[in-house]
């Protein structure tokens, strides 16, 4: 590796500072829109509006993002930007990774499902915060590359699966938290079904224009949906869509 650990530590910390700045901007925007909406903000949004949880930032600064990007993009690995990872897919922007992780409000014992492993970066961040991460990727070569990266980094608490994540992972359900890294037109019903009571789902929804949505499942199984921020994710593909 051409970049030494010390060098990446400094780059990682600079990236985390940029993410914090962006989170502060987001918090300011949240506060002013809250005033416009006469205080209709949700408590979890209000928490994110105070800034990202320190343990989320610590997880972000601990994961070597340069090991999750293609070799020619290693010099850009610590920019607060999405980057192409091949097969028409992207590794998400670090701020979005941090925001989505923060909104899941994870406890160490939580079982977390991620849809869209991609490079494996988001799963690696989650794996620093919880005991077990389950992650599904539909593009087999991406899933296999991510598996090799997890093994190289000794991340033994990530379980991977190749397939259509819109079906969830029924054998391992229920999950305390589900993070979806690709955008469907509508929230897939199996993901809501596989959410534990009290669980949280963070998912981009839409086509050309998308919103990040936080879904909370109450103890009585009812759900509360809240729009967080406009986002731009790759589409969630359906492997076996029923004929029209
Ligand atoms: N979390 C990733 C971001 C990957 S981009 C990272 O940190 O790098 C979204 C990923 O979702 C792509 O790799 C894409 O192939 C995958 N994807 C799209 N539709 C899917 C589906 N139905 N099931 C599983 N993965 C899917």
Pocket test for ligand 1, best of 182, 186, 212 (most atoms within 8 A of CB): 182
Residue 237, ligand 1, Cβ within 6 A: yes
Torsion of Cα atoms, 212 then 170 then 102 then 199, to 10°: 90
Interval between CA 65 and ligand 1 midpoint (Å): 17
Task: Give pLDDT, residue 27.
Answer: 86
Residue nearest to atom 10 of ligand 1 (CA): 116
Task: Give pLDDT, residue 239.
Answer: 62
Task: Give pLDDT, residue 26.
Answer: 87
Ordered domains of the chain (ranges, CATH): 5-231 (3.40.50.150)
Per-residue model confidence as pLDDT tens digits over 30-68:
777 765 544 444 444 445 556 899 999 999 999 999 999
Give the global pTM.
0.92
Interval between CA 61 and ligand 1 midpoint (Å): 22
Residue nearest to atom 26 of ligand 1 (CA): 116
DSSP 8-state symbol, 63: S
Task: Give pLDDT, residue 32.
Answer: 77
Residues (pLDDT < 50) of the chain are 1-2, 37-46, 242
Distances (CA, A) of 75 to 71, 72, 197: 9, 7, 43
Residue 8, ligand 1, Cβ within 6 A: no
Evaluate whether 73 touches 83 at the Cβ level (below 8 Å). Answer: yes
Task: Give pLDDT, residue 41.
Answer: 47
Task: Give pLDDT, residue 233.
Answer: 96
């Amino acid at each position: 590796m051409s970049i030494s650990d010390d060098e990446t530590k400094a780059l990682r910390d600079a990236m985390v500072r940029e993410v914090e700045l962006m989170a502060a901007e987001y918090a300011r925007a949240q506060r002013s829109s809250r005033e416009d909406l006469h205080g209709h903000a949700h408590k979890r949004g209000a928490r994110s509006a105070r800034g990202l949880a320190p343990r989320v930032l610590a997880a972000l600064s601990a994961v070597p993002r340069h090991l999750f990007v293609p070799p020619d993009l290693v010099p850009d690995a610590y920019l607060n930007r999405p980057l192409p990872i091949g097969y028409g897919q992207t590794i998400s922007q670090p701020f979005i990774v941090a925001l989505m992780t923060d909104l899941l409000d994870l406890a160490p014992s939580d079982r977390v499902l991620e849809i869209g492993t991609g490079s494996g970066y988001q799963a690696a961040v989650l794996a620093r915060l919880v005991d077990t991460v389950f992650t599904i990727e539909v593009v087999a070569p991406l899933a296999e590359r991510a598996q090799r990266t997890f093994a190289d980094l000794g991340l033994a608490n990530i379980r991977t699966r190749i397939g259509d994540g819109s079906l969830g992972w029924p054998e391992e359900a229920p999950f305390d938290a589900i993070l979806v890294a690709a955008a469907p037109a509508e929230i897939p019903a199996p993901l809501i079904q596989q959410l534990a009571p009290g669980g949280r789902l963070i998912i981009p929804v839409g086509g050309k224009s998308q919103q990040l949505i936080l879904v909370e499942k109450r103890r009585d199984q009812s759900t509360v949906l809240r729009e967080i921020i406009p986002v731009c994710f790759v589409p969630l593909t359906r492997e076996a869509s029923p004929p029209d």
